[in-house]
Amino acid sequence: LKLHRALAGGREGGGLDPPAAGQLPVEGRASSVAGCPGRMAGDNAHRRRGGGGEAAGGGAYVDKGVASNHHASGYPSGKAAGVGSGRDWPLQNRHHSNGSIQPASVDKNLSVQAALQGVEEADEPTEWALRCAAVVLENSQSSRVESECVLAKINVWLAPSVTRQALPAIASSALPVAVVRAIRKYRNEPLTAALCCVVLVKSSGSTTGAQAYLRAGALEEVGALMDRHPLHGGVQNVCLLALCGLMKDGGAARQAVSQGAVARALRAMESTAGREVQFNGLNSLRLLVENGRAQRTGLQEAALRAKVAHQNDDTVSTAADEVLAIVTPRFKEVLCWHWQSGWCKLGPRCTYAHGPVDLGQSRMLGTGPWPG
């Protein structure tokens, strides 16, 4: 649900409306994934070569001299080509001698049209489907519409019921590299770049998946995207989500700190008071400080501002308190004298406890003393 809200999270700052189930907004209108082949017909027309259409009596598209009884990719047609139900190519990991996963390279011999057909026909992220998706995203001849349709199909593949099984295959495929390069390619197209970030978030749930994206340069491209659209709440929101997904260990967090992630998160939180941006910004700051040893300048003010703006939202308030517990000495460890006298003018900005509930919360956060 958080991912579906991601594109709309910073609506006050120009957020994106989330697409409906199975739909993708393109140029201000929704277009179904199933309708992508028709919309891409014009984009595919200029790629026809050789026989220029269907072979006589064969009914198969002929591309670059491939015989009519073969798939356009050059693989045999039918189940041997892995383009039937999309289940015919097994999920196989490639491993280095030291046990780490080696990402596959993009198939340079697979045509864009064949790759589009493979993506369209697949109903789960098999090795063949991931190979086809990577080809479309990375090929310079692919149009923005084609890339958006592929990104939408990947999001369909990454349903919660199959994501856990698919993550190892994605980490060892060429998809992480292709997604990162697509972020760079469509940096000036907020919708498309944001969809790339959503795919990154959903497919980097494992440590190996996050490492594959880090090796591909995801931190650099996500940071550059935030710099390109500093006032676009939807873009900032999905980028903050991506940062949280990538920082699964101290090394990644320290790398993010060295590349200016703290300043970008603070800037995003200042640009909009949207709930999702504030919540994901707070989570990013907590990871950057706890795991990345980031400087704490400005974090207290950002957390207090988020807490005041969403003081009736327990989720945001708790996230703010987690940051404040790290950056504020003795946070909520002592009862506020003004509150005990009847009124504290600071209200939610006060770093002292307003009652036993606040004192108990400080102990849960690990900042306050336990009785006895």
Mean pLDDT over residues 56-67, rounded?
Answer: 34
Q: What is the pTM of this model?
A: 0.71
Could you tell me the two tokens for 194?
């944001």
Q: What is the pLDDT of residues 345-363, one digit of tens each?
A: 888 888 888 888 776 565 4
Give the helix ranges, DSSP H, for 103-174. Answer: 112-121, 127-138, 144-157, 160-171
Whether residue 87 contacts residue 95, with contact meaning beta carbons closer than 8 Å, is answered with no
Within the chain, strands assigned E span 23-26, 29-32, 53-54, 61-62
In this model, does residue 3 exceed pLDDT 60?
A: no
For residue range 83-113, what is the model confidence (pLDDT) as tens digits? Answer: 333 334 334 444 444 444 455 666 678 899 9
* Spatial CA neighbour of 181 closest among 211, 140, 120: 140
CB 103 within 8 A of CB 93: no
262, 295 in Cβ contact below 8 A? yes
pLDDT in tens, 173-229: 999 999 999 999 999 999 999 999 999 999 998 899 999 999 999 999 999 999 999
Phi, psi (5° rounding) for residue 122? -80, 140
**pLDDT single digits (tens) 111-169:** 999 999 999 999 999 999 999 999 999 999 899 999 999 999 999 998 887 767 789 99
Average pLDDT over residues 264-277: 96
> Tokens for 33?
């994934």
